[in-house]
Amino acid sequence: MQSLYDIPAPAKLNLFLHITGRRADGYHLLQSAFMLIDWCDTLHFELRSDGVISREDLSSPLPAEDLCTRAAKALQSATDCTLGAHIGILKSVPAQAGMGGGSSDAASTLLALNRLWRLQLPLEKLMAIGLKLGADVPFFLSGRHGWVEGIGEKITPLELPAARLVVVKPDAGLDTKLIFSDPGLKRDSETAIISGFAANTKTFGQNDLQTVAQKLCPGVTQALEWLATQGLNGRMTGSGSAVFAHLLHAIDLQNAPAAMQVRLCSSLDVHPLLGWANSDGLSVASVR
């Protein structure tokens, strides 16, 4: 039995994000197109035979019960697995950025331990476990860019044109709960369809959270203004403070604000761990 893995956990960008309503339980209904990008955390897994889940922070310190640890314990509980694992986490994707870093880590943990422990759970069962950990986890498990609806659990895999992007993360992050609880949040966008998005993937729609986010975090506005100085039309991704723009020409990274992380990224063709669990048979929609 292979006893260790070193695997990536890629980030995502929301190419748009519309809030179309709200459920009776308070959860917001959304539509978005998620793009996988090559900004990744790296996770190291070693098999333990004693059932213990231990963790080592290889960069910035994480909370005691981070999503990797919670994912490992949830998988143990769901399968009555008696094996354990030591998990090393090298963080690169910034927190509170809206890029899904923690959810991606959880998804890669479920996929890695499903293999390391030889559980052979199919993808749909891993996705059910993942949804309880966070709304974005099923997307990362699905393995492809996605058209995402509901509270994040309805996923149609997408083929997207290859893209080069610049991503800017202000020093300050954003708390998702503060944005979604703001009374000024737009919650009534019209329902979109994939064909409408496909007509222009670079400029379709908007991020309905951006206006509230700019009120809560001046760094979002500053990042967007810097992109504008480079001749780029920026947009916030997700519910964090990071913004992005499609790279249309060379830009000058030397004058980027010192307090911000600026990174040139490429879209991925598929998730690096696609196929690590049995396929659930979802068809892939193409917008090429």
Determine which one of 12, 91, 125, 169 is catalytic. 12
Amino acid making up residue 211: T
80 is catalytic: no
> pLDDT (tens digit, 9 = 90+) per residue, 90-130?
999 999 999 999 999 999 999 999 999 999 999 999 999 99
For residue 230, give both structure tokens: 């480079």
Among 62-71, 106-115, 252-261, the range of highest mean pLDDT = 106-115
pTM across the whole model? 0.94
Q: Which of 66, 105, 136, 208 is catalytic?
A: 136
The predicted structure's pLDDT at residue 109:
98
| Domain residue extents for the chain | 4-159, 164-266
Q: How many residues does the chain have?
A: 288
Q: Do domains 4-159 and 164-266 have the same CATH topology?
A: no
pLDDT per position as a tens digit, 217-231: 999 999 999 999 999
12 flagged as catalytic: yes
The pLDDT-based confidence of 287 (bands split at 50, 70, 90) is low
Please state which CATH number belongs to domain 164-266.
3.30.70.890
Supply the CATH classification number for the domain 4-159.
Answer: 3.30.230.10
